[in-house]
Amino acid sequence: MKEGPDITLLGSLIGDPARANMLTALLSGKALTASELAGEAGISAQTASSHLAKMQSGGLLIQRKQGRHRYFALADDDVGSLLEAMMGLAAKKGHLRTRTGPKDPALRRARVCYNHLAGDLGVQMMDSLLAKGFLTPENEGLGLTEDGRRFFEGFAIDLAPLEKLRRPLCKSCLDWSNRRSHLAGSLGSALLTRFYDLGWARRVENSRIVSFNTPGEKEFMRMFAV
């Protein structure tokens, strides 16, 4: 017994409601200040401060000072993936939040997962990219084909700087609402940014929802048909 890594710390960090709310808010990919997170969790600033310190020393968060603000963000993609994975299992086991609000359908359709697109549209995009042979499954992840390289460059995504990063270019991430994979990694992130830039979609304030407008969705559907 007492073999392997210790999962209790991670579990207990995630297991507190206030902290879970903060983490969920940060899953939107935006860095938030301590007071914003306190508001998100519905607790006082002092309490939030203590929680944030714990999560930081536990490796879940990183902190960036900027003027008199302190911005907190998820430490890395792995933390985001774990949170999504837990949401997947929680959903499967029926652990829903007390009030499943009216936003729920919109959230299932298109939302931000840390920094890339998730939900029905995210899964569809992934399927389409695979079906057209732009991405291809590799050893343990995803690879970019020559066709894919041309496609993305044609979509005004500059691959060169992305490939220089330590972060993997393509990665698959499990979707809690669909239990299917969608595209993560720096390429997934770049695609989402491109959708914003093109004016196809925008972020809904204070939420993970990504809202496509009518022409934007039309373009998206044409480009990522299955």
Partner DNA sequence: AGAATGCTTCGACTACAATCGAACTATGAA
Partner DNA sequence: TTCATAGTTCGATTGTAGTCGAAGCATTCT
Interface residues with DNA (CB under 7 A) are: 12, 16-19, 33-36, 43-54, 63, 67-70
225 binds, among DNA, a second copy, none (CB under 5 to 8 A by kind): none
Residue 53: CB minimum distance to DNA, A: 5
Contact 60, 13 (CB under 8 A): yes
Strand partners of residue 70: 65
25: Cα separation from own chain's centroid: 11
Q: Which is nearer to a second copy, 76 or 153 (CB)?
A: 76
Residues that bind a second copy (CB under 8 A): 1-17, 20-21, 23-25, 40, 58-59, 78-79, 81-83, 85-99, 101, 103-104, 107, 127, 130, 137-140, 172, 176, 180-181, 206-208
Contact 37, 25 (CB under 8 A): yes
Q: Which residue's structure tokens are 């959708």?
A: 195
Q: Which is nearer to a second copy, 127 or 219 (CB)?
A: 127
> First vs last Cα of the chain: how many Å apart?
49
For 204, which DSSP code?
A: P
48 binds, among a second copy, DNA, none (CB under 5 to 8 A by kind): DNA
Strand partners of residue 61: 74
69 binds, among DNA, a second copy, none (CB under 5 to 8 A by kind): DNA
Residue 54: CB minimum distance to a second copy, A: 12
Sheet (strand 61-66) strand order: 32-33, 69-74, 61-66
Token pair for 92? 């499967």
Residue 99: CB minimum distance to a second copy, A: 6
Residue 20: CB minimum distance to a second copy, A: 5
Contact 84, 173 (CB under 8 A): yes
Residue 134: CB minimum distance to a second copy, A: 14
DSSP three-state, residue 211: strand
Contact 170, 187 (CB under 8 A): yes
214 binds, among DNA, a second copy, none (CB under 5 to 8 A by kind): none
118 binds, among DNA, a second copy, none (CB under 5 to 8 A by kind): none
Residue 203: CB minimum distance to a second copy, A: 13
Specify burial of residue 205 (Cβ count, 10 A radius: 0-12, 13-18, 19+): exposed
Q: Which is nearer to DNA, 46 or 98 (CB)?
A: 46
